[in-house]
């Protein structure tokens, strides 16, 4: 018997989202997906995607009641590839976290209509928006069925309660940060960081070896100088004895 997991991609309607408005929008969405997937690479109980249609019609119609958040995370679900997020095929689950990447053409809708939709229909616990050009960054958490603004930390980070991570701006990009406020890296960034760490360790070892060699040479010089001084003393004593003087009585 073929499993539902195998059949499901063929049952899902395909996503019907328009192209992203700029490279910055595409890059921003990719960074969010890549970093979360890398951080949670050992987990299989979530789904993270972006620019993918969410179908949520109570009548199970794909021709109405659909939206395509720029980035979203659903917790407590199966981690697998999907053609769309179709709520009636996903046990009625909606995203736990949504991020919209603002643009001039979508900003008003993201701030008003989508905010109301995610609050009232999706009941998504965390909603954020970010403008990749102006760096406007705002976040909300659902409290008693209403969105309340999230207070930023001293660094300007906003706490994503649902994913247990901070969100903040780093090098003009919206990034995840751990609860201890360390940047969550992509796999490529971690490779680079580990390579740099190995290079730094190699340089430190080389520096330690050079330091040890310098210390050895310094001790050798000191030993030579001491021996030379002793030879000079013995030579002086010998000359004194030749002159009939006992240097030990001096």
- Same domain for 175 and 208, yes or no, is no
Determine the pLDDT at residue 21.
Answer: 66
- Same domain for 86 and 168, yes or no, is yes
Q: In what order do the strands lie in the sheet with 165-170?
A: 158-160, 165-170, 173-177
**What is the C-alpha to C-alpha distance for residues 166 and 41, in angstroms, rounded to an integer?**
18
- Same domain for 243 and 212, yes or no, is yes
**What is the C-alpha to C-alpha distance for residues 97 and 86, in angstroms, rounded to an integer?**
16
What stretches in the chain show pLDDT beneath 70? 1-21, 250
Q: In what order do the strands lie in the sheet with 54-55?
A: 66-67, 54-55, 85-86
- Same domain for 67 and 119, yes or no, is yes
φ, ψ at 176 (rounded to 5°): -85, 150
- Same domain for 16 and 115, yes or no, is yes
- Is 124 in contact with 139 (CB distance < 8 Å)? no
Determine the pLDDT at residue 243.
Answer: 82
- Same domain for 50 and 154, yes or no, is yes
- Same domain for 122 and 204, yes or no, is no
- Is 80 in contact with 5 (CB distance < 8 Å)? yes
- Is 138 in contact with 107 (CB distance < 8 Å)? no
- Same domain for 222 and 176, yes or no, is no
Domain count, the chain: 2
Determine the pLDDT at residue 18.
Answer: 55
Token look-up 């299989």 returns 44
Determine the pLDDT at residue 7.
Answer: 44
Determine the pLDDT at residue 148.
Answer: 98
Q: Which domain holds residue 239?
A: 193-249
The token duo for 95 is: 């995203």
Q: Which of 152, 185, 218 is the last residue of a domain?
A: 185
- Is 142 in contact with 177 (CB distance < 8 Å)? no
- Same domain for 106 and 142, yes or no, is yes
């Amino acid at each position: 018997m073929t499993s539902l997991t195998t059949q499901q991609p063929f049952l899902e309607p395909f996503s019907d989202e328009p192209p992203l408005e700029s490279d910055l929008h595409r890059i921003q969405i990719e960074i969010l997906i890549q970093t979360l997937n890398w951080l949670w690479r050992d987990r299989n109980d979530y789904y993270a995607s972006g620019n993918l249609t969410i179908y949520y019609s109570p009548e199970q119609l794909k021709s109405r009641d659909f939206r395509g958040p720029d980035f979203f995370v659903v917790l407590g679900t199966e981690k697998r590839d999907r053609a769309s997020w179709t709520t009636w095929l996903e046990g009625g689950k909606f995203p736990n976290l949504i991020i919209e990447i603002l643009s001039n053409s979508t900003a008003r809708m993201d701030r008003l209509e989508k905010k109301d939709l995610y609050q009232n229909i999706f009941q998504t616990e965390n909603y954020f928006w970010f403008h990749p050009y102006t760096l406007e960054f705002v976040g909300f958490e659902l409290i008693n069925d209403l969105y309340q603004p999230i207070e930023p930390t001293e660094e300007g980070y906003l706490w994503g309660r649902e994913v247990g991570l901070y969100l903040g701006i780093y090098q003009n990009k919206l990034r995840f940060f751990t609860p201890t406020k360390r940047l969550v890296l992509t796999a490529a960034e971690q490779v680079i960081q580990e390579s740099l760490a190995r290079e730094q360790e190699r340089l430190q070892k080389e520096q330690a070896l050079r330091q040890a060699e310098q210390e050895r040479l310094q001790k050798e010089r000191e030993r030579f100088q001491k021996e030379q001084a002793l030879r000079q003393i013995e030579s002086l004593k010998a000359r004194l004895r030749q002159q009939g003087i006992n240097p030990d009585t001096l």
